[in-house]
Amino acid sequence: MMLALELLGGIGLFLLGMSMLTDGLKLAAGDGLRAILRGWTRTPARGLISGALLTGLVQSSSAVTVATIGFVNAGLLTLRHAVWVIFGANVGTTMTAWLVALIGLKLDIGAFALPIIGFGVMAQMLGGKRPRLAGFGQALAGFGLFFLGISVLKGGFETLLPWFESLDLAEAGFFAPFAFLLFGTALAALAQSSSAAIAIILTATAGGGLPLELAGAGIIGANIGTTSTAIFASAGATPAAKRVALAHIVFNFYSGIAAFLLLYPLINASHWLADLILADTQDEPLTLALFNTLLNVFGVILIWPFASRMIDWLQGRYKSEDETIGRPAHLDPTLAAVPALALRGLVLEIERMMNLAFERAAKRLGAEAGHTNGNGDAGILALGQSIRDFIADLSRQSLPSDVVNALPDLIRSIHHVEEAVTEGAAIHDGAQPPATLITGPAWDRLRDGVLATLVTSAGAPDAFKTEFDQEMDEVDQAYQAIKKDLLESTAAGHTSVEAMELALLRARRMRRLAEAALKAERRLCPWAPVASGRVENTPVAQT
C-alpha cells in the first residue's frame, strides 16, 4: 500500500513539475511562441524545425499542439504550415526522455532538487510585476519538482524490481508487447502527456526488470495516447483547427503502427546507435531515449512523401458554411501578374462580400431575436481578410496609376462592410428592449430607410452621391424622431431609463448600419465599371 502511494506521489510530483515548467517557460518567453510559429513556418522544413525547437524549449508537445490549433483557429496559421509544426513537435518532445535518461536517472538529483525548487519559488515571488522573471522562477521550480518526482519513482521501481523479475516478461510472447502498447496509450491519455508516460517507462526500465522490447512498445503507445490532447483541444474549434488535430492523430497512429510492426528491428537499431554514439548498450534508459527519437524521426521520414496528399485530404474534411463564404471566388494568385485583371477580381470579390453582408443584415432586421444564427459572419470577416492579403501581395510590385488610386477606396470599402456585419449582429444578438418601444411609424420609417441602404447600387458616382444624401437624410430624420419620442416618454415617467437606453441604442446601431452600408457602396461605386468591363476615365481615390 505504501509503495503504491509512493509511486502515485512520484507521478504527481512529475506531472506538477512538467506543468509548472511548461507554463513558466511560456511566460518567460513572452510572445516568442507566437512570433516563431507565425514567422518560421513558411516552408515544411522550417515548420518542422520550429515545432521541434519550441517543443524542446517548453518541454511539452501538448502545449505546442494546443497553441498551433489555437493559431489555426484564429486564422494566424494555415493548415499546410501547421501540419509540419505538429510533425516537428513530435520530434521535439523526445527531449524529455533524454533529460530523464541523462540526468534524472544518472545523478542523485533528489539531493539538490529541493534547493532548485526553493530558488525557483523565491524568483517567482520576487518577480512581482516582471512576468519574465516570475516565469523563469516558476520554470525553475517546475524543473526541480520534475526531477524530484523522477527520484521518487526511481526508488519505488527499485523496490518493485524483484516482482518484475519474477514475472519473466521476456518469455511472455507476442501479446506482451501488444499489452504494453495499450498500457502506454492509456497512461499517456490519462496523464495528458506522452513525456510523463515515457518518463515512467524509462524509470521502470532503469533497474533492468522490464525488457527493452516491452518498454519500446509502451513508448509507441505513449506517442499514440498523446493524441487525446489534440482531440480535446479541437472540441468546439473551427473546422481548420479540427483538421490540424486530425493531422496529429493521423501522424501518430501512422508512425506508431509502422514502428510497432518494426519493433524488434528498431530496438536493434537503437542498440547499434547506442553502441556507436554512446559506447554503452547496457544503459537501457539511454537506449530507449534513442528509440523514442528514432521512432518519431522515422515517422517524419515515412510521412514526408505523402504529406501533400494528406493535407489535400484533410482540406476536404469538416466543411462549414463560414469556410465556403470565406473562400474568394474571384481572386487567384495568378491574377497578381496582370494588375488590370487583379483590380477587376478585387472589385467583384468586394461586391460579393457586400451582397453577402447586406443580405444577412436585412434578414436580421426583419427577424426576431434568436431566429437567425451567426453562421456566415465569420466567413464574411475571413473573406475580408483574404481580400486584404491579396491586396498586400499585389502591392509588392510596381502598379499602374489606376490600380494605385483604387486600392485605398477598396480597403475602406472592406472596412465599412465589416462594420455593417458587426452592427447587424449587435442589433439582433444584443440586449433587446421591450417590443412596445420599438414599434410605431417612426420605427417603421427607420427600418425601411435602413433596408433601402442595404440594396446595392452601381450607378454613376455623381448619381450615387445624391442617392447617398437622400437615404442618409431619411434615416437621420427617423432616428431623431425616435430619440425625441423616447426622451419625452422617459421624462413623463412612462418608460424606464434602462428600457429607453436599450431602445435608443438599437436605433443608434441601425443608423450606424445604414451609414456603414452607404459608405461601403460609395467607396466601391467609382470602380464598379472595372468589374463590368467598361473603360472610363480613372477616378481619383476619395478622401
Backbone angles phi, psi at 24, to 5 degrees: -65, -45
SS3 sequence, 15-63? Answer: HHHHHHHHHHHHHHHCCHHHHHHHHCCCCHHHHHHHHHHHHHHHCCHHH
Total residues belonging to the chain: 543
* Alpha-carbon gap, residue 59 to 81, rounded angstroms: 21
Determine the 3-state secondary structure of 512 from DSSP: helix
Q: How confident is the model at residue 517 (pLDDT cuts 50, 70, 90)?
A: very high
> Residues 89, 134: one domain?
yes
Residue position matching grid coordinates 527519437: 293
Answer positive or negative: Cα dihedral of 282, 285, 289, 292: positive
* Alpha-carbon gap, residue 277 to 269, rounded angstroms: 12
Residue 159 lies in a domain: yes
Residue 540 lies in a domain: no
Predicted local confidence at residue 417, as pLDDT:
94
Contact 421, 360 (CB under 8 A): yes
> Residues 257, 116: one domain?
yes
* 127-141, 284-298, 301-315, 520-534: least confident range: 127-141
Residue position matching grid coordinates 432616428: 479
Give residue 60's identity as a one-letter amino acid code: S
> Residues 238, 337: one domain?
no
Annotate 185-204 with b (16+ C-beta within 10 A) or e (fewer): bebbbebbbbbbbbbbbbbb
Helical pair 194-205 and 61-73, crossing angle rounded to 10 deg: 170
> Residues 206, 285: one domain?
yes
Q: How confident is the model at residue 233 (pLDDT cuts 50, 70, 90)?
A: low
The whole domain housing 492 covers 322-532
What integer best gives the mean pLDDT of the chain? 77
| pLDDT above 60: residue 543 | no
> Residues 458, 391: one domain?
yes
Residue 70 lies in a domain: yes
**DSSP for 220-246, written as a single string:** HHHHHHTHHHHHHHHTT--HHHHHHHH
Backbone angles phi, psi at 370, to 5 degrees: 90, -5
Predicted local confidence at residue 419, as pLDDT:
93
Answer positive or negative: Cα dihedral of 29, 35, 37, 42: negative
Q: What grid cell was written down for 121?
A: 519559488
Residues 17-33: tens digit of each pLDDT: 666 765 665 565 555 55
Helical pair 131-167 and 110-127, crossing angle rounded to 10 deg: 160
Backbone angles phi, psi at 445, to 5 degrees: -65, -40
Residues 395-410: tens digit of each pLDDT: 888 889 888 999 999 9
Q: How confident is the model at residue 500 (pLDDT cuts 50, 70, 90)?
A: very high
Residues 201-213: tens digit of each pLDDT: 877 777 666 778 8
> Residues 299, 342: one domain?
no
Q: Among residues 288, 315, 342, which one ends one of the domains?
A: 315
* 11-25, 262-276, 294-308, 414-428: least confident range: 11-25
Q: What grid cell was written down for 365?
A: 432586421
Q: HSE (CB half, 13 Å, CA atoms) of 244?
A: 34
Q: Let me know the angle formed at the C-alpha of 175 by 171 and 178, rounded to the nearest 5 degrees.
A: 120
| pTM score above 0.85 | no
Contact 150, 203 (CB under 8 A): yes
Q: What grid cell was written down for 53?
A: 525547437
Residue 255 lies in a domain: yes
CA distances 61 to 56, 92, 296, 489, Å, are: 8, 7, 12, 62
| pLDDT above 50: residue 535 | no
Q: What grid cell was written down for 201?
A: 517507462
* Alpha-carbon gap, residue 149 to 145, rounded angstroms: 6
Contact 105, 147 (CB under 8 A): no
Work out the percent of the chain whose per-residue pLDDT is above 70: 71
> Residues 36, 140: one domain?
yes
Q: How confident is the model at residue 414 (pLDDT cuts 50, 70, 90)?
A: very high
Q: Among residues 290, 315, 340, which one ends one of the domains?
A: 315
**DSSP for 338-368, written as a single string:** SHHHHHHHHHHHHHHHHHHHHHHHHHHHHS-
> Residues 296, 336: one domain?
no
The domain that holds 519 is classified in CATH as 1.20.58
Helical pair 461-491 and 497-524, crossing angle rounded to 10 deg: 180
Residue 543 lies in a domain: no
CA distances 213 to 90, 136, 184, 270, Å, are: 21, 38, 13, 11
| pLDDT above 90: residue 60 | no
Predicted local confidence at residue 541, as pLDDT:
45
Helical pair 284-303 and 194-205, crossing angle rounded to 10 deg: 140
Number of compact structural domains in the chain: 2
Q: Among residues 315, 335, 368, which one ends one of the domains?
A: 315
First to last CA, the chain: 79
> Residues 231, 328: one domain?
no
> Residues 306, 414: one domain?
no
Contact 68, 77 (CB under 8 A): yes
> Residues 208, 251: one domain?
yes
Residue 542 lies in a domain: no
> Residues 225, 142: one domain?
yes
Residue 299 lies in a domain: yes
For 168, counting Cβ atoms within 10 Å of its Cβ (0-12 exposed, 13-18 middle, 19+ buried), the class is: exposed
Backbone angles phi, psi at 333, to 5 degrees: -55, -30
The residues, any chain, with a CB within 8 Å of residue 158's CB and separated by 6 or more, are 206, 207
Give residue 28's identity as a one-letter amino acid code: A
Residue 537 lies in a domain: no
Determine the 3-state secondary structure of 350 from DSSP: helix
Give residue 266's identity as a one-letter amino acid code: L
Q: How confident is the model at residue 165 (pLDDT cuts 50, 70, 90)?
A: very low
Annotate 92-118 with b (16+ C-beta within 10 A) or e (fewer): bbbbbbbbbbeebbeeebbeebeebbe
| pLDDT above 50: residue 317 | yes
| Identity of the highest mean pLDDT range in 37-41, 140-144, 411-415, 469-473 | 411-415
Predicted local confidence at residue 538, as pLDDT:
46
* Alpha-carbon gap, residue 463 to 528, rounded angstroms: 13
Predicted local confidence at residue 161, as pLDDT:
47
